[in-house]
Amino acid sequence: MTETTDAPRMRAISQDVAGGPDVLRLVEVARPEPGATEVLVRVQATSVNPADWKTRERGVFRDGTEPPFTLGFDVAGVVEAVGAGVTVLAPGDEVFGMPRFPHPAGAYAEYVTAPARHFALRPAGLDPVRAAALPLAALTAWQALVDTAHLRSGQRVLIHAAAGGVGHLAAQIAKACGAYVLGTASAAKHEFLRGLGVDEPIDYTRVDFAETVRDVDVVLDPIGGAYAARSLATLRTGGTLVSIVPPDDTFPVARAREAGVRAVFMLVEPDLAGLREIAALVAAGRLRVEVAATLPLADAAKAHELGERGRTVGKIVLTVAD
């Protein structure tokens, strides 16, 4: 991405220091221009993910990028211009994607540039708000279940935090693969889970899943900490635990091996093939994203406050343009 001082301007959310939601501020900056193999996308909506508020709090991206920077990875928008060599997209295309992750994408802004193949065409009829809520969470679920755990029809899957951003999409992807799905959530969210196709909702406030759940083939853990080790007991021999939380010293790789199962950490990455699979599921009516709240770009701090409470069902979206 390149910027010039005489470039057109755009609005963006920026932060100069690490801290709470109050460090996020609306600024005006130069609009980027696409380089070779890149596209310029006019952002219609973006969504808020745990990766956003964790980066804001740390004040540094995974790749070491320090402030000032603009958060955001999810993009739904319209291609405005293409750089040299781009053949897969054209101006006017309605797209969605998760560009550049885990490097800064700057999606909390009116425009972004990124490699053309970090975006896919949006399914017909999918509005920008819901399109923006999909990429990071749905790609995480797809890559964890399909690419990493190699989920097959007839297998049993345990999804923790099944009503959350990743969880509610993972439940649907697992059902589309033909799996029997168990999902942990509070009792108040069980009706929602059943509506997604979850076969066996588990109230984690009343039931110890580690004592009661057995013979699952795959566990998807978006929580981390003790959940990873405790989930090993639910797996049958040859099963796979996939954690999407960066592991610490307690991550049970050795214990899993001793138990005849596999424990792995997976970090999502830009994936055109995965986006196209997700778009196909949406178009077929087999995948829908739940939007918990929609706020304007200027209210990014409020969106972070809401997300950090950890009580939302589905995703929080920031609207940027019509």
Q: Measured between alpha carbons, how far is 97 from 9 in angstroms, rounded to an integer?
A: 23
Q: Measured between alpha carbons, how far is 241 from 247 in angstroms, rounded to an integer?
A: 13
Residue 312 pLDDT: 82
In a domain, 273, yes or no: no
Alpha-carbon 70 to chain mean position: 17
Q: Measured between alpha carbons, how far is 179 from 124 in angstroms, rounded to an integer?
A: 27
pLDDT in tens, the chain (322 residues): 554 457 699 999 999 999 999 999 999 999 999 999 999 999 999 999 999 999 999 999 999 999 999 999 999 999 999 999 999 999 999 999 999 999 999 999 999 999 999 999 999 999 999 999 999 999 999 999 999 999 999 999 999 999 999 999 999 999 999 999 999 999 999 999 999 999 999 999 999 999 999 999 999 999 999 999 999 999 999 999 999 999 999 999 999 999 999 999 999 999 999 999 999 999 999 999 999 999 999 999 999 999 999 888 899 999 998 7
Write the CATH number for 111.
3.90.180.10
**Statement to judge: residues 104 and 126 lie in one domain:** yes
**Statement to judge: residues 100 and 68 lie in one domain:** yes
Q: Measured between alpha carbons, how far is 135 from 151 in angstroms, rounded to an integer?
A: 20
Alpha-carbon 320 to chain mean position: 19
In the three-class reduction of DSSP (H, G, I as helix; E, B as strand; rest coil), residue 39 is classed as strand
Q: Quick one: tokens of 178?
A: 């033909």
**Statement to judge: residues 147 and 240 lie in one domain:** yes
In a domain, 183, yes or no: yes
Residue 5 pLDDT: 56
Beta strand 315-319 with 291-296 is parallel
Residue type for 218, please? V
Count Cβ neighbours within 10 Å for each residue of 68-89 and write b for 16 or more, e otherwise. Answer: ebbbbbbbbbbbbbbbeebeeb
∠ CA(73), CA(66), CA(52), 5° rounding?
A: 30
Q: Measured between alpha carbons, how far is 108 from 254 in angstroms, rounded to an integer?
A: 40
**Statement to judge: residues 68 and 150 lie in one domain:** no
Beta strands in the chain (DSSP E): 9-14, 25-30, 38-48, 75-82, 94-97, 111-115, 119-121, 156-159, 180-184, 200-202, 216-221, 235-243, 262-265, 291-296, 315-319
Strand 156-159: give its sheet, edge to edge. 200-202, 180-184, 156-159, 216-221, 235-243, 262-265
**Statement to judge: residues 141 and 241 lie in one domain:** yes
**Statement to judge: residues 123 and 163 lie in one domain:** no
Residue 321 pLDDT: 83
In a domain, 276, yes or no: no
Give the domain range for residue 171: 136-265
In a domain, 46, yes or no: yes
Q: Quick one: tokens of 282?
A: 């949406």
181's CB contacts (< 8 A; 6+ apart) are 157, 159, 162, 171, 174, 175, 197, 198, 199, 200
Number of domains present in the structure of the chain: 2
In a domain, 306, yes or no: yes
Sign of torsion, CA 297 298 299 304?
positive
**Statement to judge: residues 56 and 177 lie in one domain:** no
**Statement to judge: residues 145 and 130 lie in one domain:** no
DSSP 177-213: TT-EEEEE--GGGHHHHHHHT-SEEE-TTT--HHHH-
**Statement to judge: residues 200 and 294 lie in one domain:** no
Q: Quick one: tokens of 153?
A: 């029809």
Residue 107 pLDDT: 98
**Statement to judge: residues 86 and 163 lie in one domain:** no
**Statement to judge: residues 301 and 244 lie in one domain:** no
Q: Measured between alpha carbons, how far is 20 from 17 in angstroms, rounded to an integer?
A: 9
CB atoms within 10 A of CB 312: 18
In a domain, 278, yes or no: no
Q: Name the one residue in this structure whose structure tokens are 């960066």.
A: 246
**Statement to judge: residues 29 and 149 lie in one domain:** no
> In the 8-state DSSP scheme, what is residue 31?
P
Q: Measured between alpha carbons, how far is 174 from 121 in angstroms, rounded to an integer?
A: 23
Beta strand 200-202 with 180-184 is parallel
In a domain, 275, yes or no: no
In a domain, 230, yes or no: yes
Write the CATH number for 180.
3.40.50.720
